Amino acid sequence: MNTNGKNRVVIVTGAGRGIGVKVAEKFAAEGNRVVVVDLMLERAEVTAQGIASRGGAALPLACDVSSSKSVDEMVSSVITRWGAVDVLVNCAGGYVRPKMPHETTEEAWDLTIDSNLKGTFLCCRAVLPHMMKQGKGRIINFASNAARSVATGLGCEYTAAKAGVTGLTRHLAKEYAPHNILINALAPGPTDVERLRENKTEEVFASLSKPIPIGRLGRPEEHAEVVFFMASEGASFMTGATIDNNGGIIMV
């Protein structure tokens, strides 16, 4: 694997919208082959078409990361098409409209845990044997500032899922470091994506920036830059870490 740049095979889940789009575009712009994965194929196709229109290589694939069958099929398709997986970025995730913990439904709990935590595990599990065979690999998991403290606005299930992602990241990092597979997590702070604007007045949306010392929301491109670094040769001594990229909203 050329860890710094050209021609790696990079899977980015949740790349049909939001931060994942910019992560996929960054790796493609740096000369890598990008697998654009999303639950919604039409979203993945739009991202892939954008990359292709700029001369990049992108393969759009539909996959539900919370289903082992779907994940295993997705990774098999990648191996058939491009023969390797050098980098996995687990960006897919979501939440449902949160309630107080005592009112949270089992369905909401399962949906959030499955798309964020179980999906991250299943995608790691599917690529690790290929990375072990290759003798190297990089995995970047998406946590959240919710994992570093709590996010009452997003529900206890989201806080639990993202805290789980950081624990999973540490565990896998320790077990696979001897295989030269480096596994880290990024914990973004509130970021200006379509999802964050949904169901909010301009006033409520503007208030989201107030607790952020830098004074504004993050931009998806700012996370893409950090993820790209985490997959680069420059990050060759880093594993099991959770990197905060959050404008200072949580300092740990």
Ligand X SMILES: NC(=O)c1ccc[n+]([C@@H]2O[C@H](COP(=O)([O-])OP(=O)(O)OC[C@H]3O[C@@H](n4cnc5c(N)ncnc54)[C@H](O)[C@@H]3O)[C@@H](O)[C@H]2O)c1
Q: Which residues bind ligand X (CB under 6 A)?
A: 13-14, 16-20, 38-40, 43, 63-66, 91-94, 115-116, 119, 142, 144, 188, 190-191, 193-196
CA 82, 123, 170, 58 torsion: positive or negative?
A: positive
CB 190 within 8 A of CB 217: yes
Give the C-alpha separation, 77 to 83, whole Å.
9
> Which residue sits closest to ligand X, CB atoms considered?
18
In angstroms, the Cα distances linking 225 to 35, 217, 220 are 18, 16, 9
Min dist. Cβ of residue 126 to ligand X (A): 13
Min dist. Cβ of residue 133 to ligand X (A): 25
Residue 19 or 160: the one with the smaller Cβ distance to ligand X is 19
Of the listed 82, 95, 121, 158, which one is catalytic? Answer: 158
Among 4, 11, 19, 80, smallest CA distance to 246 is for 19
Q: How many CB atoms lie within 10 A of CB 239?
A: 20
Residue 134 or 155: the one with the smaller Cβ distance to ligand X is 155
Min dist. Cβ of residue 127 to ligand X (A): 15
Residue 116 or 242: the one with the smaller Cβ distance to ligand X is 116
Token digits of residue 136: 């190297």
Q: Is 158 a catalytic residue?
A: yes
| Residue numbers annotated as active site | 158
